[in-house]
Structure 1
Amino acid sequence: MREFGGAGFDQANHPKVQHIRERVEQHVGNVYGAEAAAGISSAIMREADLADAAIESHTMVDKWDESDVVTISYADTVQKEGERPLKTLQRFLKKNLRGVSSGVHILPFCPYTSDYGFSVVDYQQVKPEFGTWKDIQEIGEDFDLMADLVINHCSSKSEWFQNFLLDKDPGKDYFVLGDEYEDLSKVVRPRSSPLLTQVETASGEKEVWCTFSADQVDLNFRNPDVLLEFVKIIKSYLKKGIKIFRLDAIAFLWKESGTSCVHLDETHEIIKLLRLVIETINPEAIIITETNVPNKENLSYFGNDNEAHMIYNFSLPPLLVNTLLSGDCSHLKTWMMSMPPARRGRAYFNFIASHDGIGLRPAEGLLSQSELKGLTDTLCRFGGEISMRKMPDGQLKPYEANISLFSALAGKIGGERDAWQVERYLCAHTIMLALEGVPAFYIHSLLGTENDLQGVAESGELRAINRYHWDEAALEDALNDDEKHHARVFRALKDRIKLRKQQAAFHPNATQYTLHFGKQVFAFWRESLNRDQSIFAIHNISDAKQVIPIVELNLIATEQWRDILSGVVITEGMKSIELEPYGCAWITNK
């Protein structure tokens, strides 16, 4: 119930409203200057209805726990002829993943022109071929909804850009012009395409900044009107039930001549402002930053507990895949020991595969050049391709591996496909489920989907290799056929997810320590926040049987211990635990 009302109520002077406004002005001033702060802040307060939201808001502390698991899917991954794919997806998710996943990330569902959704034409609409907002909200009845805020750029066919070409509002000042930046020599690129694209406008030829492609034109956040447009979009999404916001390509948001134009201070300040807006409207809402960059740079997006609630754990996919293909967990252990525990209120967003591919930049400085080449050569042998990015000096370097995760784990580095693909695959996900953070499963990983080479041939897009479109009936048949790996993988992963959700020691912020049992065993210890549950998570990442002496686990003798994956109880006379190739054990005292 509101704390205000009546003719004499002075909303503007309410302490909560004043507090929020002061914080908004601080962030705005840090970006646009003190003189402009008051006017821009007033517009933000008005467009987001922040005064009303501030008065009604309550403090939200715990946004996640061990029961949180996210499934990631395109709107049209599962299809039925004659039916909107969002409706088909909703039925599949409800039937198969309700009670398993807590949240669903529906990848870009707005009308778009390229990059499979990440070139948005209209942020307020759902692509008609996919369905409607009502279809999305029906998914939200069973799962927390996560959506992309494609904030760095929009489609060249959007109303904003078409207005830019005609020198009309809204849009004529919404885009970054190359001639306004004297020195572009240090700009960090995620692609090999040209940075600037020439376009013909009503006022002559201009060069617009395109970080990703000529169809994805970068938005000019130096113009506060662009920021206000996204405040309106955020407010609209929150009203429609979106709870988790993925800030796409956020690292590239602000441009400054003579710099890398990535991770700039203004970008961090805008994230802080957006978090304030989002949490004021809905204290339960979450921001996740998508920054496919080396690990140290990625960690900066936690800020001082005032930026991202979660960050994608981008170094995990290449390191974990390399670990399982090499049979050596040394680099994975070194990385994990270097990772600072995410403080309460922050968490890592763990994933192994995505709609794009396996990012290779986050492995820079963690794998040597020869190791990286061994990894990429192996992935190519298993049907994958390597996308490149252009360095400031024009040199091309590996950016990501385009391959389905199931196909990627078909064998070992330097070898051919072997008999351990399913076991290796399940081991990878079992590790992810046990790690500090919130686990996220790309739907094709849950389903064990293989490389879609036909999709690549038809689209000409390397990323299509991991974006297969399942026919609903064919998928259900595959998941009910025990002879097919899809059924074995889906059933096993769901069982392990359900087990994870019951363990307090797997809270995303529970204590984690690395254990040392040699290069072929990746192990760590987790302890619940209230310290009453311990779990020793032990994983054989090799194709040879491993023996773990019980004495080396240092189990407390007065407690009863058991492996919750196998059900085996650790008895007093037991000397060791044997793990079959790619076998796993979660040994707990609860």
Structure 2
Amino acid sequence: MFVVERRVYERIRGRLRRLYGEDALDALMERLQLIVGRYGVGAECPPEAAGCAPWDQTDAVLITYADMVSANHEAPLATLRRFLAEQVGDAVSAVHVLPFFPYSSDDGFAVVDYRRVDARLGNWVDLEALAEDYRLMVDLVINHVSSYSRWFNCYSSGMAPERHYFIEVDPKTDLSGVVRPRTSALLRPVQTPHGQRYVWATFGHDQIDVDFSNPDVLFEYLDILLFYVHHGAQIVRLDAIAYLWKQLGTACIHLPQTHEVVKLLRDLLTLVAPTVLVITETNVPHAENISYFGEGDEAHMVYQFSLPPLLLHAMHSGNGRYLTEWIAKLAPPKPGCTYFNFTASHDGIGVRPLEGLLPQPQLEALVTAMEERGGLVSRRSNPDGSATPYELNITYFDAVGIPGDLELSIQRFLCAQTIAMSLQGVPGIYFNSLLGASNNLRGAEQSGRARTINRQKWAVPELDAMLGDDSAHQARRILPEYLRRLRIRRAQPAFHPDGPQRALELPAGLFGVHRVAPDQSQTLWMVANLTGAPLQLAFGRLVRRPRELRWRELIGGWRQSGEQLPSRFELEPYQVAWLVGDSAAVPGHAVPGQAPGLDAYPR
């Protein structure tokens, strides 16, 4: 164990040297040693825990705001915990509570105080209680802070050390090459005791970027990170991490120093809390996104930002070609790393992750289809001054739905969700998707923010009415079926995040992947009908000798084997099948050894 610690300290020392130079290195290492152990995190973590698999097929993450569910005379965090216990149970293993701090805008992502829970939501005791039921995932909003925060107030007043926490830039500087996720002006004027200054604000003028070239800023966030772990955080999401480090003359995105900081955070957790996972949020093209795996020494998980729009395109076109091509080219995650597969979150459906994956005419048609369904389009600024779509603001239910046909909309939506939870990685399910929520147009209009369209919240009586036996709301059908499929999934070793996957080459209108358990104890085929018409598929497209296997379809529940097995099976419109083939179960066809691996099947 001491050898491991020495190696980690040596890595951290090298990272600090590359970030801040040799002169301050010894002092920075002394500061680091003071932080390690301050909160007592990791004290009860057995040494062998660091080598354990951090996930399995039982894992799925529910993404929610702290006050997504509210009741009179009860803290929303307590109400959320009660709702999860009564309605969700073990269908998910982790809960991502979106920023629960005091904030000034952006529904929590303009943090006023990192160490306080917004009193309107509850307190740290409520979060610790939730962490007893589920793995708790929290946000480290690391790129920027609220303009109403103490740090920025001290900066504006000229007080140390915070007066050195922000990035001042001469407004005459050419910043046209900076990659922007927003159309707002990059620099915000601020009156200080030293006159007017202009500070960097990537995401808007209430979210002021902090200066990580100052090691004091780094150590503030190292301390905050361990504070969260002390209060029960087991997964830490690094928000907007791609923009962390700024260097004039560059695009100020994905800089080497940014990757070095992520690796340093990972190293710190390896020292004091080795079971805590790091996930990076980078809404960028796929190749840039997966760069945050590093060499297996950076993020444990990265969001699959290309999945939501590619899957959406497949559902609308009835053609899985581009989705299949993308899956086929996905590199297996490095050991100790995996993908975070989601279709929706509190943000919109990103468009940039489609770059290089979907032809421009197809993308434009998709944007138009979303607008026809009541969706909104957020745009970003380009270096030439133009604006292009950045994300589609719409609930995923309305995005995949067919206006005027609730039945087919439900089937299409469940099809999309089931595909996502079948892919290699850990599924992430947004609360609004769990209920099949429709666009919150009134909320978006009232707030003036496009993202509010997918951030609806409910009072308990409203939810009870939606989910009641007499309810005609789509949630009454979607929630129980969604949870049923999640529970089926958690029992299948082939869905282990470390289990390999292969995209299937199937006839038009069908999409599928082949999954195998890491220990080859189970092999499974997911096949989905992306169209509104019944389609058939020959078992021989999946395996060379299908009658040598005993087949089970896990969602519908049918079983077939031996000579009774038909040559083809039919998929209803938007039906998804989870097919398991057991090789030793058919009399006369027993095959000794383990279940067949990926190489045993036709390509």
Q: Settle same-fold status: TM greater than 0.5.
A: yes
Superposition deviation, residue 522 in structure 1: 0.4
2:89 and 2:55 mapped to 1: Cα distance? 17
2:546 and 2:54 mapped to 1: Cα distance? 32
| 8 A contact 2:41–2:226 mirrored in 1 | no
Q: What is the percent sequence identity of the aligned residues?
A: 41
Change (3 A) 1:251 1:245: same
Match of 2:492 in 1: 503
| 8 A contact 1:21–1:45 mirrored in 2 | no
Match of 1:294 in 2: 285
Residue 493 in 1 paired to residue 485 in 2? no
Structure 2 unaligned segments of length 5 or more: list them: 583-603
2:277 and 2:40 mapped to 1: Cα distance? 20
1:531 counterpart (507, 512, 520): 520
SS in 2 for 1:98: helix
Match of 2:328 in 1: 337
Change (3 A) 1:52 1:215: closer
SS in 2 for 1:516: coil
Match of 1:24 in 2: 12
1:203 counterpart (194, 209, 234): 194
Residue 349 in 1 paired to residue 340 in 2? yes
Residue 465 in 1 paired to residue 456 in 2? no
Change (3 A) 1:50 1:138: closer
Superposition deviation, residue 154 in structure 1: 0.2
Q: Deviations over 1:425-462 (max 9, x none)?
A: 00001101110000010000001111111111211111
1:528 and 1:473 mapped to 2: Cα distance? 42
Q: Deviations over 1:486-524 (max 9, x none)?
A: 011001100000000000000012111111112310011
Residue 214 in 1 paired to residue 205 in 2? yes
Residue 575 in 1 paired to residue 563 in 2? no
Give the counterpart letter for 2:251 in structure 1: S
| 8 A contact 2:66–2:100 mirrored in 1 | yes
1:475 and 1:34 mapped to 2: Cα distance? 58
| 8 A contact 1:69–1:100 mirrored in 2 | yes
Q: Deviations over 1:84-105 (max 9, x none)?
A: 2111111101111221110000
Give the counterpart letter for 2:291 in structure 1: S
Residue 278 in 1 paired to residue 266 in 2? no
SS in 2 for 1:39: helix
Residue 85 in 1 paired to residue 76 in 2? yes
SS in 1 for 2:8: helix
Residue 73 in 1 paired to residue 64 in 2? yes
Match of 2:531 in 1: 542
- Larger displacement relative to structure 2 (355-364 or 144-153): 355-364
Superposition deviation, residue 553 in structure 1: 1.7
Match of 1:10 in 2: none
Give the counterpart letter for 1:444 in structure 2: N
| 8 A contact 1:351–1:440 mirrored in 2 | yes
Change (3 A) 1:35 1:95: same
Change (3 A) 1:297 1:50: farther
1:323-402 equivalences in 2 (<5 Å) = 323-402=314-393
1:91-240 equivalences in 2 (<5 Å) = 91-179=82-170, 182-240=173-231
Structure 1 unaligned segments of length 5 or more: list them: 4-13
| 8 A contact 2:284–2:305 mirrored in 1 | yes
Q: Deviations over 1:254-277 (max 9, x none)?
A: 011111000000000000000011
| 8 A contact 2:41–2:229 mirrored in 1 | no
Q: Deviations over 1:318-356 (max 9, x none)?
A: 000111011111110111111101133100000000101
Give me the TM-score of the superposition, normalised by structure 1. 0.94
- Larger displacement relative to structure 2 (44-53 or 229-238): 44-53
- Larger displacement relative to structure 2 (248-257 or 174-183): 174-183
Match of 1:11 in 2: none
1:437 counterpart (415, 425, 436): 425
Give the counterpart letter for 1:550 in structure 2: F
Once superposed, what is the RMSD of the aligned Cα atoms?
Answer: 1.8
2:503 counterpart (495, 514, 520): 514
Give me the TM-score of the superposition, normalised by structure 2. 0.92
Give the counterpart letter for 1:184 in structure 2: L
| 8 A contact 1:543–1:581 mirrored in 2 | yes
SS in 2 for 1:407: helix
Superposition deviation, residue 45 in structure 1: 1.9
1:181 and 1:542 mapped to 2: Cα distance? 55
Match of 2:35 in 1: 47
Q: Deviations over 1:516-542 (max 9, x none)?
A: 112310011101111121101000011
1:315-330 equivalences in 2 (<5 Å) = 315-330=306-321
| 8 A contact 2:42–2:274 mirrored in 1 | no
SS in 1 for 2:162: coil
Q: Deviations over 1:378-410 (max 9, x none)?
A: 111111000000001111000000011111112
Superposition deviation, residue 422 in structure 1: 0.3
Change (3 A) 1:181 1:310: farther
Superposition deviation, residue 183 in structure 1: 4.0
Change (3 A) 1:473 1:418: closer
| 8 A contact 1:61–1:345 mirrored in 2 | no
1:126 and 1:532 mapped to 2: Cα distance? 45
Match of 2:554 in 1: 564
SS in 1 for 2:313: helix
